[in-house]
Chains A and B, each alone.
Chain A
Amino acid sequence: MDDKPLNALKIPQKLFDEYQNLPGALLPLLHAVQGAIGYIPDDAVPEIAKNLNLSRAEVHGVISFYHYFRTSPPGRVRIQLCRAEACQAMDSASLEQHVKSSLNIDYHQTTADGTYSLEPVYCLGNCACTPSIMINDQIYGQVSPQSFDNILSDLTIVEKDQG
């Protein structure tokens, strides 16, 4: 097996070593790969399959089953917008429209400059303070179109500060 693409994407062999003998290792390994490089490249599938003694179809089947796993690079800022009922009850539909039009992308898309990815999520467990969004691992509650703009501009300032 040619492991060149893996080297290019820097999936460390130690990940495979760590998970190889774990019962039901595929999900933890996929999490580790996505955690390390941000997504699970198609090129990694044969190597993952080989290391866990699975078929490529099995690995592909699992990656495609779960919404969280992605096969293309995410934007630097990953925005998850809750579409579930408790958020809808507080007019998340308006927020959704605003987010899509201000970023000029739809769900499952990344802005052309590679900054923002937008994904739907079905409940963030912040249902008493809705609508909710999560940006990377930070949750925000009672988000209005206006406060969404403020959150993004705060993020931009932080990013600039960090150079």
Chain B
Amino acid sequence: MNKTVYIPKDFSASAMGVDKVLAEFYKEINKRQIEVEIIRTGSFGICWLEPLITIDVNGVRIAYGPVEESDVASLLDANILSGGEHPLKIGPVSDIDYIKNQERLIFHRAGFTDPLSISDYQQHGGFKGLQRALEIGSKAILDEVINSGLRGRGGAAFPTGIKWKTVYDTDVDQKFIVCNADEGDSGTFSDRMVMESDPYLLLEGMIIAGIAVGATMAYIYLRVEYPLSAEVLGNAVQLLYEKGMLGKNILGSDICFDVEIRIGAGAYICGEETSLLESLEGKRGEVRFKPPLPAIKGLFNKPTVVNNVVTLASVPVILEKGGAYYKDYGMGRSRGTLPFQLAGNIKQGGLVEKAFGLSLNEILYDFGGGSASGRPIRTVQVGGPLGAYIPESQFDTLLDYETFAQIGAMLGHGGIVVFDETVNMANMARYAMEFCAIESCGKCTPCRIGSTRGTEIIDKILSGENTELNLNLLDDLSTTMRDASLCAMGGLTPYPVMSAIKHFPEDFNI
């Protein structure tokens, strides 16, 4: 049997030089005239060890990393194809604490499989959820999803089953499934990892959603900043069509389901669902008034399910193992697992899928290993650029939607950006307003004008101009933006700003 080297094909691994490592492997294999197969896999999400390569030794995947181009010759000299010793040897992937201590319901295949191999996907449990969905039909699928307690993973945490039921209950000829793959929040990459490491999982979830609500057409709105996701997902869609798992009469059933990928154009606001729908219709991505909800009048005025990538990727396991199984994970009203993303100034950054309910401390220190710089962690921003800054005194907060809301913060998409003590929080507050000014769609005044005025006011505070008066003004402006903006962009921008002032007044010269 040929020996196999598994090398990730993932955006982050690519950023860390995996393409050069791959080329070097080919070169060395050729030179040595040895029989070795190279399989491109997804990523395990252990980003701090990328490029991380693995070898199959008697059915166990042995990891080596981080591998540089210059390590390849010595790795082959050390006989890694049989699991040989080398300074970069880590041991079995599944024994790495970072992986072992996770609860991977969604990401259990990532890194192990070839993302585009349908047989790999099936051998590792793929399409079991779809199979059951085809057997039990719409109403029973809705029951499972409602019972699972799954809430939207894009940030708003709206109950997915309720959204689906609303679309199911509308009686019209055409309905749509729209997958929101416009993952624009800084510190988040779990959507990208689903698309690059396990694209069939997303597509399986989308087909199940289609069966549940009676939709036959789906769009994936994918951000242009993810060219590798576009490539992998595009190939995956194509291969499913060839297999008869997309298109007419899926797997011989009477279900028809088409999927089309549409590429965004660099507008952060298009991650907001109504703006995304406008963009899909070929217009400026301006936010719509709600109501009507997209579930009633969405894409091209038809009832539309708009779900985030991870939300849809959570559906197959719910169908396969039942809503009750999924609901067993988590705490309070946050059921199931969330793929947290450790980002920024963190020693062991990457993807950590865990049931809701662990503390920030656990994820930052047990998984993350503290800051990358070695200096104390001063603050974290959770939930993207619209999330509050949380001080160290609150690191015992449990990762749960409601617990976060209680401290004026937001769990959002589960991205955690870590800053060490060198951060200047006044700069971060100013940046939050500036970002809102750059990315506002411009439809409502509080967001469009408020963000620009907010940037100016913070500049005045920083230059010591009428500090008290300007702080009051900023507080006033924040209240207006929060309460009067049309969507979360203007509505939540005050959170990072005001939390920075509240917890780190010394950075504002107050």
Chain A residues in the interface with B (C-beta under 8 A): 23-28, 30-31, 52, 58, 61-62, 65-69, 80, 84-90, 121-130, 132, 134, 137-142
A-contact bits for B180-199, CB 8 A (1 contact / 0 none): 00011111110010000000
Q: A123 touching B12 by the CB < 8 A rule?
A: no
Flag if B11 contacts A126 (CB, 8 Å).
yes
Known: A85-B417, A122-B186, A130-B344. A137 touches B225 (CB 8 A): no
Is B206 engaged at the interface, CB distance under 8 Å to the other chain?
no
Contacting residues, chain A, for B188 (C-beta < 8 A): 123, 125, 127
Say yes or no: is B419 at the interface (Cβ < 8 Å to chain A). yes
**Contacting pair B11 A125 (CB below 8 A):** yes
Q: Which B residues are in CB contact (< 8 Å) with A137?
A: 227
| Cβ 8 A contact of A85, one of B341, B350, B381 | B381
Chain A residues closer than 8 Å to B47, beta-carbon distance: 128-129
Contacts of A122 in B (CB 8 A): 184, 186, 268, 385, 435, 438-439
B415-448 with Cβ < 8 A to chain A: 415, 417-420, 423, 428, 431, 435, 438-439, 441
Give the CA-CA distance A44 to B438 in the complex, in Å: 26
User: Contact: B267 with A89, CB < 8 Å?
Assistant: no
Contact between chains at A67 and B266 (CB < 8 Å): yes
Q: How many angstroms between the C-alpha atoms of A121 and B439 in the bound complex?
A: 11
Q: Would you list the 8 A-B pairs with minimal beta carbon distance, nearest first?
A: A128-B349, A141-B15, A89-B344, A84-B186, A127-B343, A26-B282, A66-B265, A68-B266
Give the residue among B47, B417, B419, B420 with the most A Cβ atoms within 10 A.
B417
Closest residue of A by beta carbon distance from B192: A125
Q: Which A residues are CB-close (under 8 A) to B186?
A: 84-87, 122-123, 127
CB pair B50–A129 under 8 Å, yes or no, is: yes
Which chain A residues lie closer than 8 Å to B226 at the CB level? 125
Partner pick for B263 among A24, A26, A27, A86, CB 8 A cutoff: A27
B412 at interface (Cβ–Cβ under 8 A)? no
B381-420 interface (Cβ within 8 A of A)? 381, 385, 415, 417-420
CB atoms of B12 and A129 under 8 A apart:
yes
A25 to B281, alpha carbons, bound, how many Å?
7
Known: A31-B263, A69-B265, A90-B345. A126 touches B385 (CB 8 A): no
Q: Say whether B11 contacts A139, CB under 8 Å.
A: yes
Bound Cα distance A88, B265 (Å): 23
Whether A90 and B435, one on each chain, are in contact in the complex, defined by CB atoms closer than 8 angstroms, is no
- The answer to whether A127 touches B415, judged by C-beta atoms less than 8 angstroms apart, is yes
Interface residues of B in 201-237 (CB under 8 A from A): 224-227
Taking CB atoms, residues of chain A closer than 8 Å to B279 are 27
For B300, list chain A residues within 8 Å (CB). 23-24
Q: Give the residues from 244 to 293 in chain B that come closer than 8 angstroms, CB to CB, to chain A.
A: 262-268, 279-285
Q: A86-B417, A123-B184, A126-B15 are in contact. Are A25 and B282 (CB under 8 A)?
A: yes
| B187 and A127 contact, CB distance less than 8 A | yes
Which size class do B's interface residues fall under?
A: 35 or more
Cβ of B372 within 8 Å of any chain A Cβ, yes or no, is yes
Instruction: State which of B11, B284, B441 has its C-beta within 8 Å of the C-beta of A62.
Output: B284
Q: Which residue of A lies closest to B14 (CB)?
A: A139
B417 near A129: Cβ-Cβ < 8 Å: no
A138 touches B187 (CB 8 A): no
Residue of A nearest to B184 (CB): A123
Bound CA–CA A2/B269 (angstroms): 36
- A65 and B267 contacting across the interface, CB-CB below 8 Å: yes
Q: Judge whether B265 and A127 touch: CB under 8 Å.
A: no
Question: How far apart sit A121 and B226, CA to CA, in the bound complex (Å)?
Answer: 12
Chain B residues near A69: list those with CB within 8 A. 265
Q: Are A125 and B266 in contact, CB atoms less than 8 angstroms apart?
A: no
A128 engages B192 (CB within 8 Å): no
Is the beta-carbon distance between B283 and A26 smaller than 8 angstroms?
A: yes
Q: Is the CB of A126 within 8 A of B423?
A: no
Q: In the bound complex, do residue A67 and residue B267 qualify as a contact, i.e. CB atoms below 8 Å apart? A: yes
CB distance from A104 to the nearest CB of B (A): 24
From B189, B281, B420, B435, give the contact of A125 (CB < 8 A).
Answer: B189
Q: Does B48 make an interface contact (CB < 8 A)? A: yes
In addition to A61-B284, A128-B350, 5 A-B residue pairs with Cβ atoms within 8 Å of each other are A27-B279, A62-B284, A85-B428, A126-B189, A128-B342
Q: Are A123 and B225 in contact (CB under 8 A)?
A: yes
Contact indicator B15/A24 (Cβ below 8 Å)? no
Q: Which of B185, B264, B268, B282 has the most CB of A within 10 A?
A: B282
- Nearest CB in chain B to that of A54: its residue: B282
Q: Are B385 and A89 in contact (CB under 8 A)?
A: no
Tell me the smallest distance from the CB of A129 to a CB of chain B, in Å.
6
- Given A23-B300, A85-B344, A123-B185 contact (CB < 8 Å): yes
B179 within 8 Å of A by Cβ? no
Q: Which residues in A have their C-beta under 8 angstroms from that of B305?
A: none
For residue A34, which residue of chain B has the nearest CB?
B265
B267 pairs with A66, CB closer than 8 A: yes
Chain A residues with CB below 8 A from B11, complex form: 124-126, 139
Is B52 located at the chain interface by the 8 A CB criterion?
no
Q: Which of B183, B265, B346, B385 has the most CB of A within 10 A?
A: B265
